[in-house]
Chain A
Amino acid sequence: MEELKKNILSIFNDLEIYIRKDNRMFINTKKETVLSLLSYFKNSGYDHLGLISCNDWIDDSKFELVYILSAYMANDEEFQEKEKRIIIIKTRIPREKAKFITVIDIFENAEPYERELHEMFGIKFEGHPRLTPLFLELKYETPPFRKDFDTEKYVENKFGKIPTIKERKNNQKNERT
């Protein structure tokens, strides 16, 4: 992994890399270099995008996007060498009117992950063909995974205000009399 780190640092600048446990590489980068970094990794053998995740740093008012890469078993010798190595790339984007560019051109399986992030966090991905709801049925004002979404208040307003059938019948009876 050390050679990989040297190779990356010789090509790109503006990165921070640290390696833990001999097989996990964490890279903190600026948001403009993400695409070139991803294509570099795809060309050097790490062609499996595991997940795109997001953390909500509400005090700094930033979202942190996390890309997790690893290697498929290309052929047996390479797999022995790259066994269980995971590359984690993190960037930060501003929280107000969050938008980012899509990585579908490099990794095609990023489509449902970005769709989920759009639904749950409200991040808009430019160039994504289909940013429609994936899991949820109702519409929410604040996307539900953000830290300023108050779940108990939402539950009280939405589900608590629906009366039981007996209450509705009594209301109708009281209205009539």
Chain B
Amino acid sequence: MNIIAMFISPLIALITGMFFLGIFRKIMARLQWRYGPPVIQPVIDVIRSFSQMSISHGSLFDFGIILSLTGSFVLILFLPIGELCPFTSGGLIAFIYLMLLDPLGMALSGAAAANPNSSIGISRKFLLSLAYEVPLLLVLLAVMTRYNTISLVEIVKIQASTGWAFGSWTLVLSGIAYFLILPAILGVRPFEVVKASQEISSGPIAEFGGKHLAFSTLQHALHMFVGLALFVDIFLGGWTLFGLLDPLSGTVWAVILGIVIFLLKMIVVLVIEIFINAVYPRYRIEQAMKYLWKWPTLISFIGLIIVVLAN
């Protein structure tokens, strides 16, 4: 079961990640009163990028983007999608640790590219990571303390019996704090400072052409998937539906229905984030850091204190 899950899980993540990018562009277009590209447009872009010859700036340049993509793939293996979770033993600690491979890989590529726009983009990426990691850690600490476990599968199973974490009075503040930093994790406006295409010629991916650009698009899709999946797993009950599916547990139908419910919840959160993206302009990096270290940190800190006192 685990071997099959190890292959199916990243495949589902990749396909739905590209689908989410397509939905993103389509809904943004419809909000702006125009037709948009077809929903499979990112797939066409990736195929076209693979068919172009790419220009390489050395072996470190090639290695960096591969490291970033591999980091995202490995992160998928620790994440339960539906009931498929190949590596159950790492849990949230492995998650926090592996989330740093993404900016690290981009930094290696950008440093080898020798473009000043890449350097500015990478410094912004690290600063943004630093800014949203602080409230994220406080939120995850609160969740881990409340449910007394670090395994994501256990957290979802407990929510099946006691209700969604977002609805319980102990964890609602942490949920609100995570919702406030979710645009920064996904890279949508107002926190779209890394890939700012008008200011710094699209940041770290300024020198990417051909297959490097294709890998970068795939990595962006996976990163978006991971950000949304974590929110749904921890706060919105994962793939369970208030315990209604318990009689089916153990069969193939449960697995398939679990995946479908999981993806539906992710799509709802994604559409809310698209609406936020359509309204706001872009922050400067110091404004983004000031915001992320002020209100979400404060709210998640209070949430942590409430959880510790209630236990």
Q: A and B: direct contact (Cβ < 8 Å)?
A: no
Enumerate chain B interface residues (CB-CB to A < 8 A).
none
Enumerate chain A interface residues (CB-CB to B < 8 A).
none
